Structure 1
């Protein structure tokens, strides 16, 4: 195996913690991730305290996100150093839910990477512009990107294609694109994705479907093991 730094990633739409929160915490702790890319984290009153409590329940800390990124939250273990963060809000369409993205410049071992997360609109007319804005952030990253997102569309959609362009779809890389992510009650679609820079090796990928994950949220979590290139 080529030299590199291991990173375990979970990307997870947690449904606003409206389901079994004990199961949610157990699912993430059992995965023992280095980073968690959260969609539908706290974004309203008390969001700092609520996201801090979520991170603590996972055994992690908050790196970025919350209200500034409209519910996208990046969590890390103490193994990962966070060197800088940024948040984006996508342009508002009247009458629609606000959407955004969170990014963090991170270091682990001898590797540098940019962790990013987003949650695109349920409206197909809005998603392409949101994907283009998020893609602009990813394209401007100074280090290899690890990006998780709930795209609210499948791989045949224009927003998905925009984000996947030039990046590795971790599911395809591991020949596991048949693993469906939504919904837990009736799995029928792959609308959650993990994209990584081509310099990052995908060692393993799966969608965790267990009785516990079916209680924890309406989405299944993505779990991936990556090998990051050592920074030159």
Structure 2
């Protein structure tokens, strides 16, 4: 009897790639263009993972929708310019990320996917820059879903792949990722090398410190689901 298909979903920013410098630079450009003071770096990073309009509104709750929309557009333009000028260096893969993805992708019973607050344009460009085009069978992006922690991204990824809840896992660095996993009824693995403090990663089933630990946890997940 063949093993059941299993779905492993990854967040992107702060989980697979370190885009902190680009995010902060694009935020500063957007706020500067709007004539507003840029929030502190810690405040900016605490909202990474949310869809961009939701994040901007959270950063400037006193501003009207027109200003929020201007900030969103300014951020997208600045981020796009940085990506074009720096290529893959604008969001380098964390050490160990590529090796893990390649190892997992070599197992026919494992399906890999992405659930990210990035736009489709941004995600597609990032995947192309790092040569990961054939890695992910499902790509869930902010354009098509409510912001995390709404479970829509995970629910849609499961619907596309036909994988059961018990055979699905979500990996991310933020409280939004873990809350989304909980809302979708799937296991969550929190990673500590990203943008939220370890204490914010509840209700993760596991919290890991590096990609070697993540590989061990995923091996256990695979073994359990083999029955």
The answer, yes or no, to whether TM exceeds 0.5 is no
Relative to its length, the structure with more strand (as a share) is 1
